[in-house]
Chain A
Amino acid sequence: DQQVKQNSPSLSVQEGRISILNCDYTNSMFDYFLWYKKYPAEGPTFLISISSIKDKNEDGRFTVFLNKSAKHLSLHIVPSQPGDSAVYFCAAVDTGRRALTFGSGTRLQVQP
């Protein structure tokens, strides 16, 4: 039972355009959400997070949006750069615990 779903295995965008990565969750106990970026042969790197009491969090080129009623979050990268090419994982946590539940990832390719 996948509690965190990333339905797009891959995404390709042109350099300078917006990348939008989507994530859905089913567990209503989740109250904190994160995005990680992963390059091959490396561990995931924390990018940005959002608490369930907010609907938007911005950090430079990265913005995460949360729609609690739809149980949906998205990561916007503007403008996209070739160095952003990586696998992006959405993760969620029930803050009563510390275990992260990850989605299966979306491979982003930014074309120069």
Chain B
Amino acid sequence: NAGVMQNPRHLVRRRGQEARLRCSPMKGHSHVYWYRQLPEEGLKFMVYLQKENIIDESGMPKERFSAEFPKEGPSILRIQQVVRGDSAAYFCASSPPEVHYGYTFGSGTRLTVV
């Protein structure tokens, strides 16, 4: 049973480009969460999705960031017109439908904006 798969592991983008980060949850998990970790800080919640639904996006920046979890395929975190401050590690986690807080995290995507 594969864990949470994130790709790419490393992503370099120039300022103004778009970044697309992908997350495939564990088998049987229908809930996906995105977190961002800035250097020397803890993880900050961004968004919580179920299939085809955004449940909680209270941690998402108001502009340039969007997330989706389609019926088929991975969850996508999309950052438009990236800026240097978007450089961070982005982690995805998944959980089964029943309430359980020990989420399984992926290995993350390290985004570097140059």
Contact = CB atoms under 8 A, between A and B. Distances in A.
Contact of B105 (A32, A45, A93, A97): A45
A35 B58 CA distance: 23
A89 B91 CA distance: 14
A13 B58 CA distance: 39
A35 to B, nearest CB: 10
B42 A43 contact: no
Greatest chain A CB density within 10 A among B91, B101, B104 is at: B101
Contacts of A36: 105
A100 B102 CA distance: 10
B31 interface: yes
Contact of B41 (A32, A101, A104): A104
Given A42-B107, A45-B105, A95 B99 contact: yes
Interface residues of A, number: 24
A98 B56 contact: yes
B48 interface: yes
A102 interface: yes
Given A98-B31, A98-B56, A46 B103 contact: yes
Given A43-B91, A43-B108, A32 B44 contact: no
A49 B100 CA distance: 11
Given A89-B42, A99-B58, A105-B42, A41 B101 contact: no
Given A102-B43, A104-B40, A43 B101 contact: no
Contacts of B35: 100, 102
Contacts of A34: 101-102
B55 interface: yes
Interface in B85-114: 91, 93, 95, 99, 101-108
A95 B99 CA distance: 9
